[in-house]
């Protein structure tokens, strides 16, 4: 069996894929080979999964980018070209400020943005990337134009957080695990967590609903999928095996150690999740003027 990963070896998505692959090998008593198909900002690997024969031999670990790439004109590929199997992870976004920033909560930050359009500087990822889109969605929900801040594109959260700690930007949108080291060092503070429940490792950070009144939840996610047209009995076999792995202490310990947030959705709910996520991302990218 081939498990295609659209991202490079050594990254978070690759790590999740290899952990599950090793567990599936033991359960299914079949070799599961992880193949990294990188390139095109995720297009190459996602297309390789979608283009494979819909049989028992090929599936993949797809990510949030499948619901971003087509909106910005990188590909015609959408979530509809896959057979959903199971969602296994979602890392919610969060907003972080410097430890000595004047904002006590996200409402004060948003009020400052409204009072000073185009003066507040933020970062966290590339233009139109996952954290930029998540931030735009919450700003829209609060009645703020996402273009009223200055977004500084970065190569990733680590770069943006270093800039934040040094005072180069006013705030950063990214996940809690990415910011954990600087939070624990007392150099930055987190104002809001884009999830329906508080983060176990950061129980003092309010959820979006608690902080803003908006039921807006957004983050990066990873889920297993196969080419469209996979026979239902094979899809069910994969779903059952992945749920067994997800439920295990081994997988829970792995996810906790890596700082990944665990979530499970079965095939039907995962399909509904991708549809809603795609619609949300389209609205956010249109508000940013980035949708083609």
pLDDT along the chain (292 residues), means of 10: 95 94 96 96 96 96 97 97 97 97 97 97 93 96 96 90 96 94 96 94 95 95 98 97 98 92 96 97 95 91
d(CA 144, CA 107): 12
DSSP assignment of the chain, as one string? Answer: -EEEESS-TTSHHHHHHHHHHHHHHHHHTS--EEEE---GGGHHHHHHHHHS-SSTTEEEEEEGGGGTTTTTTS-S--GGGEEEEEEEEEEEEEEEEETT-S-SSHHHHHHHHHHSTTT-EEESSSTT-HHHHHHHHHHHHTT--GGGSEEE--SSHHHHHHHHHTTSSSEEEEEHHHHHHHHHTTSEEEEEESSSS-BTTBTTSPBHHHHHS-----EEEEEEEEETT--HHHHHHHHHHHHHHHHSHHHHHHHHHHTPPEEEE-HHHHHHHHHHHHHHHHHHHHHTT---
What is the CA 191 to chain-centroid distance, rounded?
A: 19
Quick one: angle between helices 232-247 and 12-28, nearest 10?
110
Q: What is the pLDDT of residue 117?
A: 96
């Amino acid at each position: 069996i081939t498990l295609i990963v659209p991202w490079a070896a050594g990254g978070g998505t690759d790590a999740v894929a290899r952990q599950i692959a090793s567990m599936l090998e033991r359960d299914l008593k079949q070799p599961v080979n992880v193949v990294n198909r990188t390139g095109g900002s995720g297009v190459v690997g996602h297309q390789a999964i979608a283009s494979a024969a819909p049989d028992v031999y090929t599936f993949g670990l797809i990510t949030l980018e499948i619901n971003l790439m087509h909106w910005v004109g990188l590909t015609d590929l959408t979530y509809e070209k896959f057979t959903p199997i199971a969602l296994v992870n979602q890392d919610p976004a969060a907003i972080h400020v410097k430890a000595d920033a004047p904002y006590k909560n996200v409402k004060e930050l948003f009020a400052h943005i409204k009072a000073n359009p185009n003066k507040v500087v933020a970062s966290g990822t590339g233009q139109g990337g996952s954290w930029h889109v998540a931030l735009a969605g919450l700003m829209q929900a609060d009645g703020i134009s996402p273009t009223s801040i200055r977004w500084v594109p970065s190569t990733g959260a680590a770069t943006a957080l270093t800039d934040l700690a040094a005072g180069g930007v006013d705030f950063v949108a990214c996940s809690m695990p990415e910011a954990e080291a600087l939070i624990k060092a007392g150099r930055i503070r987190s104002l809001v967590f884009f999830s329906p429940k508080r983060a176990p490792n950061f129980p003092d950070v309010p959820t979006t609903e608690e902080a803003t009144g908006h039921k807006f939840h957004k983050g990066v996610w990873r889920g297993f999928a196969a080419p469209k047209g996979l026979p239902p009995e094979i899809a069910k076999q994969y779903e059952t095996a992945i749920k067994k792995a997800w439920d295990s202490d081994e997988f829970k310990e792995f996810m906790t150690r890596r700082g990944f947030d665990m979530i499970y959705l079965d095939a039907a709910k995962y399909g509904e999740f991708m549809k809603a996520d795609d619609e949300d991302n389209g609205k956010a990218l249109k508000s940013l003027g980035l949708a083609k």
